[in-house]
């Protein structure tokens, strides 16, 4: 039982490059989330998926897209990376209204 896994752990991009962050959970949770964490800003929700087949914008969706590939997997895509997207990205999953389980994070640096 791995919980929530994320790949990659670290990534360096040049401005304008694209990349996809992968997230998978093996806890049979319906809901999945993508957050970014920046110093002094806490956790900010980018997108979430309440259930398979649905996705919705969170607080800071601009510059990102998501895909809920199936119940287990929820990916986050940066189409054209910008330095402002330098951050630590966390994926999480949960049963609705319950405890969230977080992945180990992806540290992204955009030059």
Partner 1 sequence: AQSVSQHNHHVILSEAASLELGCNYSYGGTVNLFWYVQYPGQHLQLLLKYFSGDPLVKGIKGFEAEFIKSKFSFNLRKPSVQWSDTAEYFCALISGGSYIPTFGRGTSLIVHP
Instruction: Provide the binding-site residues for partner 1, judged by CB under 8 A.
Output: 31, 33, 40-43, 45, 48, 50, 58, 90, 92, 96-100, 102-105
Nearer to partner 1, 82 or 95 (CB): 95
Residue placing its CB nearer to partner 1 in the complex, 14 or 28: 28
**Kind plus residue range of the DSSP H or E element containing 13:** strand 10-13
Minimum distance of partner 1 from residue 40's CB (angstroms): 7
Least distance from partner 1 to the Cβ atom of residue 16, Å? 29
- What CA–CA distances, in Å, run from 70 to 16, 49, 56, 75, 100? 28, 11, 15, 10, 19
* Contact between residue 103 and residue 6 where contact means Cβ atoms under 8 Å apart: yes
The nearest distance, CB 99 to partner 1, in angstroms, is 5
Q: What is the DSSP letter of 10?
A: E
Residue closer to partner 1, measured from CB, 42 or 53:
42
Q: How many CB atoms lie within 10 A of CB 61?
A: 16
As measured in angstroms, the least distance from the Cβ of 110 to partner 1 is 21
Name the DSSP letter for residue 108.
Answer: E
């Amino acid at each position: 039982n791995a919980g929530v896994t994320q790949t990659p752990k670290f990534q360096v991009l040049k401005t304008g490059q694209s990349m996809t962050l992968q997230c998978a959970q093996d806890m049979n949770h319906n809901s999945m989330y993508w957050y970014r964490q920046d110093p002094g800003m806490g956790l900010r929700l980018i997108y979430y998926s309440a259930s398979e087949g649905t996705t919705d914008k969170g607080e800071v969706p601009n510059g990102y897209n998501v895909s809920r590939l199936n119940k287990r997997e929820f990916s986050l895509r940066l189409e054209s990376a910008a330095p402002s997207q330098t951050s630590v990205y966390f994926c999480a999953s949960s049963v609705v209204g319950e405890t969230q389980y977080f992945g180990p994070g992806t540290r992204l640096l955009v030059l």
